[in-house]
Amino acid sequence: MMKVRSLFILVFLLIGILACQSTKNNFTDKKTNAQKFSIAIHGGAGDMKKEWMSDSLQEAYKAKLTEAIQAGHEILAKEGTAIEAVQAAINILEDSPLFNAGKGAVLNHLEKPELDASIMEGKTLNAGAVAGVSKIKNPIDLAIEVMNNSGHVMLAGAGAEQFAVEQGFELVPESYFITENRLKAVRAAKKSHSAVLSDEIINKMGTVGCVALDRYGNLAAGTSTGGINNKRYGRIGDSPIIGAGTYANNKTCAVSSTGAGEYYIRGTVAYDMSALMEYAGLSVQEAAEKVIHEKQPQLGGSGGLIAMDNKGRISMEFNTSGMFRASMDEEGNLEVKIFK
């Protein structure tokens, strides 16, 4: 009888100790999570060779990436939300003619801009997207407006612009977006009857995106693009597709991808990252390697992605020779890179 009682006491003691341990761990985790914040951006992946880019052009890209990530980082540091940080960083890249989004986006076959963007919030799984807009200065802002105030997830073309006007957005003339370089590129592509020129492959990619984790432990992801040079037929790529170009879920990760959009849609790339983490138990880095170096090449797709898990760990993988990218952690440690 004594032996049985002793055993009971021992078991209860053990349960007690384990419970305390578990509470302690949970508490530590939550605390760490609530304080930690992190941000990463990309400005597109592609087969860019160092010799194609002058040192000064490389410096210009790096300076703009730095400006964008610092803007997002500052918001996170001041206890802003991940959505606000993603918006601020993407706005700066959209406003720069260096990237294929907003001002300086590639032009379609009619020599007009046709812009796509999407956003997703990891806490609520709320999402917003716009496709084929040509009069919205910052398409990511309209994607956020769609998410918050339309009752829909995805609006396209003139309808999306009508919604924008009703929500108080100012329209800009199409000429705002058009740069001399992009005009040359689309005219050259039209002459050669191709959507991309091999020596100007940089025109193919250059989508911008951002992932962030805020002090509240919430993830967000956003993507903005002009699509592909000389595109026709109202083509929609992966950037405005939730699950392909953009995905965020506090359970797993936030993802923004950049690459050959058709392959990224077929691979449901952004949600696949989340599914590999949630269902197959992969880390964000393992998932990114699987998607970018195994699954996409098997399909025939080239490009890259940036991803962040709910602890702020960042993965930036690409199977091309370069990807404009930057990351910055809580301590302000900055990394800005173009090539491998």
User: Which position has the token pair 């009752």?
Assistant: 151
Among 6, 11, 234, 332, binds its own copies (CB under 8 A): 234
> Applying CB under 8 A, which of residues 82, 143, 154, 255 lies at the interface with its own copies?
154
Asked whether the beta carbons of 224 and 246 are under 8 A apart, the reply is no
Are the CB atoms for 90 and 111 separated by under 8 Å? no
| CB 44 within 8 Å of CB 303 | no
Single out the residue of 190, 235, 251, 313 in contact with its own copies (rule: CB under 8 A): 235
Q: Which residue is it, tokens 């349960």?
A: 15
Residue 247 contacts its own copies per CB under 8 A: yes
251 binds its own copies, rule: CB under 8 A: no
Residue from 276, 307, 314, 328 that binds its own copies (CB under 8 A)? 276
Whichever of 25 and 298 has its CB closer to its own copies, that residue is: 298
Under the binding rule (CB under 8 A), the answer on residue 288 touching its own copies is no
Least distance to its own copies from the beta carbon of 201, Å?
16
How far apart, in whole angstroms, are the C-alpha atoms of residue 77 and residue 59?
A: 26
**Residue 122 binds its own copies (CB under 8 A):** no
Binder to its own copies among 144, 212, 242, 328 (CB under 8 A)?
242
Residue with tokens 């699509």: 227
Q: Does 131 bind its own copies (CB under 8 A)?
A: yes
- CB nearer to its own copies: pick between 300 and 332: 300
Residue 120 beta carbon to its own copies: minimum distance, rounded to whole angstroms: 8
| Shortest CB 51 distance to its own copies, Å | 29
- Bridge partners of 45, per DSSP, are 323
- Number of residues this chain uses to bind its own copies (CB under 8 A): 45
Strand order through the sheet with 314-318? 246-248, 253-259, 303-309, 314-318
Q: Give the residue, chosen from 60, 77, 153, 334, that forms a contact with its own copies under the rule CB under 8 A.
A: 153
Question: φ and ψ at 312, to 5 degrees?
Answer: 85, 5
Q: Which two tokens stand for residue 23?
A: 């509470």
Examine residue 150 and tell whether it contacts its own copies (CB under 8 A): yes
Contact window for its own copies (CB under 8 A) among 10-18, 29-37, 146-154, 180-188 = 146-154
Residue 324 beta carbon to its own copies: minimum distance, rounded to whole angstroms: 25
What is the Cα–Cα distance from 238 to 301, expressed in whole angstroms? 12
Please give the positions annotated as active site. 207
> Could you give the C-alpha distances from 280 to 163, 274, 275, in angstroms and in order?
40, 10, 7
Pairing of strands 127-133, 154-156: parallel
Q: If DSSP codes are grouped into helix, strand and coil, which group holds residue 301?
A: coil
Nearest of 171, 189, 41, 164 to residue 106 by alpha carbon:
189
**Which residues of the shown chain bind its own copies in the complex (CB under 8 A)?**
120, 125-127, 131-132, 150-160, 162-163, 195, 232-237, 241-244, 247, 261-262, 265-268, 271-272, 275-276, 278-280, 299
